[in-house]
Amino acid sequence: MMEIRIQSDGFDAKKHLLDFVNEGAEKLEKYYDKIQKVEVFLKLNPDPANNKSVGIRVHVPGTELYASKSCDTFEEAVDEVFDALRRQVKKHKEKLDAK
């Protein structure tokens, strides 16, 4: 079972944002079922443009995958980061399958 850990820096994340992040993390398991842990870091930046930052680390056997993005909304940043991680997870799995 994959562990999902969410940290918000400088604010309390609302339930709908936490649910949104959890749904995205669970979708990653469709691409690779050996994901051990997903760590999500939500942060407000002082810069008014693109002030919502999201960094996500995915722990898989043998390595860690990471992506981050800053956008106007957390939802947009989460979507973009999970898109990048989906590509990384697929590539990682393809490398393992080729061995």
Indicate the pairing of strand 37-44 with strand 3-9: parallel
Indicate the pairing of strand 63-71 with strand 52-60: antiparallel
pLDDT bucket at 10, cuts 50 / 70 / 90: confident
- The residue assigned the tokens 């990048």 is 84
Phi first, then psi, for residue 59 (nearest 5°) are -95, 120
- pTM, 2 dp: 0.93
CATH of 12-68+83-98, one of 3.30.70.920, 2.40.37.10, 3.30.160.100, 3.40.47.10: 3.30.160.100
Cβ atoms within 10 Å, residue 46: 6
Q: Where are the domains of the chain?
A: 12-68+83-98
- Read off the pLDDT of residues 33-55 as tens digits, 9 standing for 90 and up: 999 999 999 999 887 888 999 99
Cα–Cα distance between 22 and 61 in angstroms, integer?
A: 21
